[in-house]
Amino acid sequence: MKKSFLSLIEIPLAFSSFLFYKLMKYSIGILYTAYLYSNQDKSQQWRILSQETIDSTLSLPVLMTKGPRWNTHAIIGTLGPFSVKESLEIDILSPCQSAQSWIAVIYSFPTYKTITSITSKEFVNQSLSQQDKWKNLTLARGKYSIGIRYYNRKEAIYLPQIKIDGENYVSPQPVSANINNFYYNLIKRKNFFYLALHYYIFTILKYRKSLPEKFVHSEFLPVGAPDTQFIYNYLLKEAILEIKIKPEILQEYHIYLTVYDRCSLPVEFTEIELETYTTKSSVSNGYYLLRIRPKIETISVSDHPQFINPEIQDENTLHQKVIL
């Protein structure tokens, strides 16, 4: 009886959650933009996603509305907003020395529209030095911000130096090797507010075959990264997810898995390096996200035909499967 009642009201609750999320995203976005405008000192230094970030006022609500599908596998830094007249230069030597794979994305501000991106793949087999470390980007006059992600970090980690219109804007910034340890305790921040924000995501994934895929994709992945393939679906309470991967796929690609509860907080995450991986039993209704990124010496994910239609099986059972 209880299950039937919950099924009856799930769609109205999901619709209410959808509206609540849009309202909170807009309201919190205005507050955050105003905060950045009024705290120019904060915009002139790298902000690294860390425990300190999570503990600061307003940060967690901002993150839970701006980028709620936590990327538990990357070291993430953001910079800006800043004004550009003609050009922006990025020190690419620092990220190349800090991570096996990385991506820097330039966004317009305050709309956060992706303008362009730079990836580690552009510099494979290049011997970079201090003399040729600068990547120059010509931009239209306006305000911008930068987001950078490091995957498979190396021993010493630095976020890059940035120049704007030929003038130094920010110097290289060191990053602690255990900066991402806060993800292990993030589930402790679970509360009704975050459940209300993200309740609808499980429902649209559950009924995604009846919805426009573009809508589902945009709601689940508001900001996707170029050169990354995303595979995602819902998980029922007590379900396990079995992932089977062909040996050649493992050889050519990094496979990152994050499992979220219905609040969109991570409960399990790992890089999969075995041909068969099985998750823990899900503690609640939730969803999973596979991020598939090419190892830097291989071709682009978008060019790889085996990823166009991954096989997702038994999604309505307690033993769900993904075959790559």
Do 101 and 153 form a contact (C-beta atoms < 8 A)?
no
56 and 164 belong to one structural domain: yes
Alpha carbon separation from 252 to 129, 142, 245, 246, 249 (Å, rounded): 28, 39, 11, 10, 5
Are 236 and 227 in contact by the 8 Å Cβ rule? The answer is: no
In a domain, 63, yes or no: yes
Token reading at 58: 């307003």
- Other CB atoms within a 10 A radius of the CB of residue 232 amount to 21
Lowest-confidence range among 96-105, 168-177, 194-203, 219-228? 219-228
CATH number at residue 289: 2.60.40
pLDDT at position 305 over 50: no
The last residue of a domain, from among 145, 162, 180: 180
CATH of residue 43's domain is 2.60.120
Give the chain's mean pLDDT: 87
Tokens 């209704």 appear where?
285
pLDDT of 306 strictly over 70:
no
Specify the higher pLDDT residue, 42 or 98. 98
Backbone φ, ψ for residue 182 (5° rounding): -65, -20
Q: What is the pLDDT of residues 79-121, one digit of tens each?
A: 988 999 999 999 999 999 999 889 999 999 888 888 998 888 8
CA 233/CA 290 separation, integer angstroms:
9
Secondary structure (3-state) at 110: coil
Q: Is residue 64 in some structural domain? A: yes
- Copy the structure tokens of residue 282: 């899900």
Q: How far apart are CA 205 and CA 221, in angstroms?
A: 12
pLDDT in tens, 225-270: 667 889 999 999 999 999 999 998 888 889 999 999 999 999 999 9
Q: Are residues 43 and 118 in the same domain?
A: yes
What is the C-alpha to C-alpha distance for residues 92 and 99, in angstroms, rounded to an integer? Answer: 11
The span from the CA of 281 to the CA of 317, in Å, is: 12
pLDDT of residue 3: 54
pLDDT at 26 over 60: yes
Task: Look at 147 and 316; give whichever has higher pLDDT.
Answer: 147
How many Cα neighbours within 13 Å face the side chain of 122?
Answer: 13
Alpha-carbon span 59 to 64, nearest angstrom: 9
Provide the 3-class DSSP secondary structure of residue 129.
coil
The answer on 238 and 121 residing in a single domain is no
Per-residue model confidence (pLDDT) at position 10: 87
pLDDT given for residue 226 in this prediction: 66
Distance of CA 187 to the CA centre of its chain: 17
The residue written with tokens 């509860």 in the block is 261
Number of domains forming the structure of the chain: 2
Q: Is residue 185 part of a domain?
A: no
Last residue within a domain, chosen from 180, 206, 233: 180
The answer to whether residue 279 scores a pLDDT higher than 90 is yes
Provide the percentage of residues in the chain whose pLDDT is more than 70: 89
Q: Is the confidence at residue 122, as pLDDT, over 90?
A: no
Q: Torsions phi, psi of 304, nearest 5? A: -95, 110
pLDDT reported for residue 146:
94
For residues 140-160, give the mean pLDDT. 92
Q: DSSP letter string over 161-213?
A: PEEETTEEEE--EE--TTGGGGGGGGGGG--HHHHHHHHHHHHHHHTGGGS-H
Rounded mean pLDDT of 270-294?
93
What region, left, alpha or beta, does residue 80 occupy, with left being phi > 0 and alpha being psi -120 to 50 degrees?
left
**For residue 25, pLDDT beyond 90:** yes
- 33-42, 67-76, 140-149, 251-260: the lowest-pLDDT one: 33-42
Question: Which tokens belong to 79?
Answer: 């910079």
Higher model confidence: residue 54 or residue 34? 54
* Domain extent at residue 134: 39-180
Claim to verify: residue 171 and residue 243 sit in the same structural domain: no
Last residue of a domain, one of 117, 146, 180: 180
